[in-house]
Structure 1
């Protein structure tokens, strides 16, 4: 049983911390400071802080981990290893050098594909047929450290950002628990990442969900799935935001953004093919399927989306 300091923040990191609590001695948790969340802007703890407090584990929440006072605070804990999963800050070399076995990261892609902050969204948007989790030893670069182990899973045709997130979170936790003892006992030699196949998945902003109807219907369908539930995808109709919660692509051709009736269905023109919206939500209204929406707004047919 190893002594571990865990660093993580969102839901993705919860299964990994839970696995560590069950199999090792977690002597401390580092997570992002409490932030305002939701419409009311109430201050909320991160999911990781909540789990740590439930188990009586000390929690440290530095605004910037690279600051000297934060590093000094970290040095008071003396674990065998750091384990990091979706922490939200880059660890400087001064921090990586503290534990004798360094820092091990649970990354939600098969590296070196999709280095960066949003690998789950990126894999769906790109139409990848498989993705996975990489357990790597961290260095000061952006997801560039040597690989300890890899787990692979198939991306289903109807996969959403949420469903893939949940699968990868569990896969990552299980893989980490399998990998860590062998690594700590010197039975795994970290392997450098391949130099071929490097891609990046930058952080996503809410405005990235604004649909560009000049893209292909296939790309738009992937975007909608990838951005479910966050940040969501949307367009504008009559000056109001219209969220697109679900849809599919179909063959056909009409001007990009033009709403038509096609084989008894609502269809929207794109740069290539037609997008068939299935669930929508007009600004200030509840989410509904497209048939219900059309009954309330029959003038949607023939209109243009921006």
Structure 2
């Protein structure tokens, strides 16, 4: 089949590489426009665009996929199907109608659970034991199209969103290629999603990532893991923001006041709404990530200090 791939972040590159190695004909790649990055705010191409350069295929970067010029070029390319992984743009019906087999999205959840931009993050934060990936035909409604294939993936007790996305990118890329193969051969049919079990996973904001130390330790740990690497869970310490990158529940430790800190030479404990939690890796404002014990020594944590106070 003639394919036009759409995707933007690093997690989509794995699928693009798998498609490029498949028996299908990749004729172009669609990605988001170059975006400012770093201190100099220099315009930088997306990871998908960078990889597409190495493949030597045409790269389309519409500001909006509604642009007439983009739609005209897509029609000229005449793809049979458009596989999508985390593209980040809202596709109009005019674009959806161009490929005869539609746009096939690789989504990192077992649909209809966690429809939206951050399924893996929400799955970890909610305490799910299992997540997965689905391939489905894109329709106008959010992640509601008929499903072609599904895989599942257990969520480990220390998995971060980054860990899980890395694994799902690998297994999901194979699922996507298998789905494209099945569509081409005519042996694969999509099935409508069930009406029950729908949950939503909107993009996480910085405000969503603020730690509430009145919550149980397990919930704090899930928030930290779900927000790693982005947007990064955080709290405040002496009026400044402190990112908390890695934690570990400490159920054997004695109960502490919520937000209270107990620092030793090798560890830092914080009080929560249940048992304490160990801070393993933190990142003070304007500094690089560091071991929490090193941070505590540097700031000289006192008995009066509390996390989460402004």
TM-score if structure 2 supplies the norm length?
0.93
Residue 274 of structure 1 corresponds to 276
* Contact 1:260–1:302 (Cα < 8 Å) also in 2: no
Cα deviation, residue 293, structure 1 = 2.1
Cα deviation, residue 195, structure 1 = 1.1
Residue 129 of structure 1 corresponds to 129
Residue 94 of structure 2 corresponds to 94
- The partner residue of 1:284 within 283, 286, 302 is 286
* Contact 2:3–2:81 (Cα < 8 Å) also in 1: yes
* Contact 1:294–1:300 (Cα < 8 Å) also in 2: no
Residue 20 of structure 2 corresponds to 21
* Contact 1:29–1:52 (Cα < 8 Å) also in 2: yes
Task: Provide the secondary structure at the position in 2 that maps to 1:245.
Answer: strand
Q: How many residues matched?
A: 305
Residue 38 of structure 1 corresponds to 38
Cα deviation, residue 13, structure 1 = 0.8
Is the deviation greater in 180-189 or in 268-277? 268-277
Is the deviation greater in 280-289 or in 40-49? 280-289
Cα distance change on mapping 1:253 and 1:28 into 2, 3 Å: same
Is the deviation greater in 242-251 or in 167-176? 242-251
* Contact 1:139–1:145 (Cα < 8 Å) also in 2: yes
Residue 257 of structure 1 corresponds to 259
Q: CA RMSD for the aligned pairs?
A: 1.8
CA distance in 1 between counterparts of 2:7 and 2:38 reads: 20
1:125-169 deviations in whole A, cap 9, x for unaligned? 111111111011111110000010101111111101111111011
Residue 10 of structure 2 corresponds to 11
CA distance in 1 between counterparts of 2:33 and 2:25 reads: 23
1:67-96 deviations in whole A, cap 9, x for unaligned? 333322321210111111100012122111
Residue 238 of structure 2 corresponds to 238
Task: Provide the secondary structure at the position in 2 that maps to 1:76.
Answer: helix
CA distance in 2 between counterparts of 1:279 and 1:111 reads: 33
TM-score if structure 1 supplies the norm length?
0.94
Alignment of structure 1 residues 48-63 onto 2, 5 Å: 48-63=48-63
CA distance in 1 between counterparts of 2:227 and 2:39 reads: 20
CA distance in 2 between counterparts of 1:46 and 1:261 reads: 42
Q: Could you list the runs of 5+ residues in structure 1 that have no partner in the other structure?
A: none
CA distance in 2 between counterparts of 1:66 and 1:47 reads: 23
Task: Provide the secondary structure at the position in 1 that maps to 2:71.
Answer: helix
Cα deviation, residue 39, structure 1 = 3.0
Task: Provide the secondary structure at the position in 1 that maps to 2:293.
Answer: helix
